[in-house]
């Protein structure tokens, strides 16, 4: 696997997996899908400052490039693009992509999806992939990127892969490493509440209300229904101590 730090050294590839590092089994699933479906796979490793609406969150975000590079190589990534912040946002940078109406996650994190859309558009232009891979856990992000692709006439396909979970049901997230053991236990209420919401929905009930009622005291930024290309997703965001976690389940249709 080649590690590349300059935009000009990145080769075009048919598969792209954008990441912010702190890789876990959810990323491994993206790498494996990309490996299976493409001749050349580029993964990017870039903690994108512009998508953090809280500086403390950016500062706390876990970073371990050597470990991440080893995981990417194990999973068959051909090129790891790990640029500096100045390489992506040089002096004088000033062009931003706004994707309107980004739902509750967009409202809860002002500027977040502007940062996501802008850096992903840059990565798409740099790598020119046929397919780019994202996890279903960030369902609203996938919706934003599909809208970006449609509205700006990009030719990349946004592939969305199922959320990978620990045995007890907690969605894998780079932020899980920030949880204390006690917080880790309390965080389980999120997937459990979403499962309760999905069950309620299957019986014709109010999925959002059922989820909120089952959150077991976790403070939630939102619980909402998100429509993504015909699929209906029940999504929630909670705070466990100082860590913010998101998760979702599909109620109708499919993401792929």
Residue number, 33 or 97, with CB nearest to its own copies: 97
Residue 227 sits in the site that holds its own copies (CB under 8 A) = no
Residue 226 sits in the site that holds its own copies (CB under 8 A) = no
Whether the Cβ atoms of residue 42 and residue 15 lie closer than 8 Å to each other? yes
Q: How far apart are alpha carbons 174 and 157 in whole angstroms? A: 25
3-state SS of 12-44 is CCCEEEEECCCCCHHHHHHHHHHHHHCCCEEEE
Q: How far apart are alpha carbons 53 and 18 in whole angstroms? A: 19
Among positions 97, 142, 246, 250, the unique one binding its own copies when judged by CB under 8 A: 97
Q: 24 an active-site residue?
A: no
The pairing of beta strand 219-228 with beta strand 157-161: unpaired
Residue 9 sits in the site that holds its own copies (CB under 8 A) = no
Residue number, 56 or 155, with CB nearest to its own copies: 155
Residue 100 sits in the site that holds its own copies (CB under 8 A) = yes
- Which member of 12, 24, 27, 203 is catalytic? 27
Q: What's the token pair of residue 197?
A: 């919401």
Among positions 96, 107, 216, 256, the unique one binding its own copies when judged by CB under 8 A: 96
Segment interacting with its own copies, rule: CB under 8 A, options 62-70, 153-161, 195-203, 245-253: 153-161
Give the x/- contact pattern for its own copies in 102-121, rule: CB under 8 A.
---------------xx--x
Minimum CB distance to its own copies, residue 118 (Å): 8
The pairing of beta strand 79-81 with beta strand 157-161: unpaired
How many whole angstroms from its chain centre is CA 143? 11
Residue number, 96 or 256, with CB nearest to its own copies: 96
- Largest Cα–Cα separation, the chain: 55
Residue 101 sits in the site that holds its own copies (CB under 8 A) = yes
Whether the Cβ atoms of residue 38 and residue 63 lie closer than 8 Å to each other? no
Q: How far apart are alpha carbons 102 and 96 in whole angstroms? A: 15
Residue number, 10 or 33, with CB nearest to its own copies: 10
Minimum CB distance to its own copies, residue 206 (Å): 27
Q: Which residues are catalytic?
A: 27
């Amino acid at each position: 696997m080649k590690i590349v730090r300059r935009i000009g050294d990145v080769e075009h590839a048919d598969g792209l997996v954008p990441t912010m590092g702190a890789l876990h089994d959810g990323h491994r699933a993206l790498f494996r899908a990309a490996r299976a479906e493409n001749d050349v796979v580029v993964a990017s490793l870039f903690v994108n400052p512009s998508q953090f609406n809280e500086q403390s969150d950016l500062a706390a975000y876990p970073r371990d490039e050597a470990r991440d590079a080893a995981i990417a190589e194990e999973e068959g990534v051909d090129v790891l693009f790990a640029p500096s912040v100045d390489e992506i946002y040089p002096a004088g940078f000033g062009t931003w992509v706004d994707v309107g109406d980004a739902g509750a996650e967009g409202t809860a994190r002002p500027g977040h999806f502007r940062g996501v859309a802008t850096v992903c558009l840059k990565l798409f232009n740099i790598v020119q992939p046929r397919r780019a891979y994202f996890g279903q856990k960030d369902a609203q992000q996938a919706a934003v990127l599909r809208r970006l692709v449609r509205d700006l006439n990009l030719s990349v396909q946004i592939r969305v892969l199922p959320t990978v979970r620990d045995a007890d049901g907690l969605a894998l997230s780079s932020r899980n490493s920030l949880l204390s053991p006690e917080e880790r236990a309390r965080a389980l209420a999120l997937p459990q509440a979403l499962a309760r919401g999905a069950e309620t929905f299957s019986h014709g009930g109010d999925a959002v209300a059922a989820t909120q009622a089952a959150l077991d005291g976790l403070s939630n930024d939102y619980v909402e229904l998100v429509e993504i290309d015909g699929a209906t997703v029940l999504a929630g965001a909670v705070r466990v101590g100082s860590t913010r976690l998101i998760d979702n389940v599909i109620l109708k249709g499919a993401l792929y």
